[in-house]
Structure 1
Amino acid sequence: MPAPTLRSLLCLAALPLLLSACGEPADTHPDKPVTQRRAAFNTILKAFEPMGMMLRDKRYDADAFLQSAEKLEAAKEGPWRHFTADSNYPPTKATDKVWSESAKFEEERQAFLAATSRLLEAARSKDEAKATAAYEATHNTCRSCHKTFKK
């Protein structure tokens, strides 16, 4: 195998720099609503994901599930106030329908909020079957909303 040339080494060294320029655009809005709502959705996900893993892995721990449900309940209102009229710009992953179909978006939001409350109730019962059903119902509200309102 031939030794690498100086040119190929320089190209290889420049590759990470070039790839970093291909990232998504920065949130340049003064209040950074896209960044704010993404962070809020990540907080929701960090509460929700452990419950799903626990149920999928058949390792239900009622107390840990309840803790996650309580975290989810505390975080559930976080993202919504950041869907302002002036926040439909890159790097958003929201579709234009968030704003053009605002009544439908609000229905989806309300369904999620209600489902998370029912999930907390089920978690408090410490009944695995109830927790599983409530988790799936909550997960379905996420899927439904993402289907229409997320790129």
Structure 2
Amino acid sequence: MSRHIVSALFIALSLAACGGAVEDTRPGQPVKHRQDAFKAILRVFEPMGVMLRDGKYQADKFASLAGELVAKREAPWGHFGADTNYPPTKAKAAVWSDAAAFERERQGFFAATDALMAAAQTRDPVQAKAAYDKVYGSCKSCHDGFKQK
């Protein structure tokens, strides 16, 4: 092989290695599990928002999704152990250095999802939208303080 081809292959392999996703290789994969749990929450929450934004509110479907959200909301939190601040995490160090504030955000999320569930039971789209917006605000608040962009 010519030196140019070898150099080109080296550069290509180096770039490919840099662009690859970092995997959680620690025992039990706590970072991967909490990321997967948050993605599962999002897969339930986002269709609710689409329904509200598109003006295609379906009370039964919305209530069902609210129930799923409440059922999934516990899953990520147990995976924020003291030794889980390593790549591929997107959590800021503040999760661990300001645990009290992080817990307040978690409790706020739980309160907002409880209110969303109650609003969904009314079958009223106005109440559902207001409660959805509060859950969204809770997520945003936590992300602003505790998640890297």
TM-score of the pair, normalised by structure 2? 0.89
1:62 pairs with 2:69? no
Q: Give how far 1:81 is off.
A: 0.2
Cα separation, partners in 2 of 1:77 and 1:22, compared to 1, 3 Å = same
1:93 pairs with 2:90? yes
Looking at structure 2, the residues matched to 136 and 35 of structure 1 have their Cα atoms a distance apart, in angstroms, of 27
CA RMSD of aligned residues (A): 2.0
Within the candidate set 135, 138, 142, 2:139 is matched to 142
Q: Give how far 1:26 is off.
A: 1.5
Q: Give how far 1:16 is off.
A: 8.4
Within the candidate set 23, 28, 31, 1:31 is matched to 28
Structure 1 runs (4+) deviating above 6 angstroms are none
TM-score of the pair, normalised by structure 1? 0.88
Looking at structure 2, the residues matched to 101 and 61 of structure 1 have their Cα atoms a distance apart, in angstroms, of 40
Q: Which residue of 1 aligns with 2:109?
A: 112
Deviations 1:43-102 (A, max 9, x none): 100110000011111111111111110110100001000000000000000000000000
Map residues 41-52 of structure 1 onto 2, 5 A cutoff: 41-52=38-49
For structure 1, the 5+ residue unaligned runs are 1-6
Deviations 1:91-135 (A, max 9, x none): 000000000000000000000011101101100110001000000
Q: Give how far 1:24 is off.
A: 3.1
Looking at structure 2, the residues matched to 90 and 15 of structure 1 have their Cα atoms a distance apart, in angstroms, of 24
For structure 2, the 5+ residue unaligned runs are none
Q: How many residues align?
A: 143
User: What secondary structure, in the 3-state scheme, does the structure 1 residue paired with 2:47 have?
Assistant: helix
Q: Give how far 1:18 is off.
A: 3.8
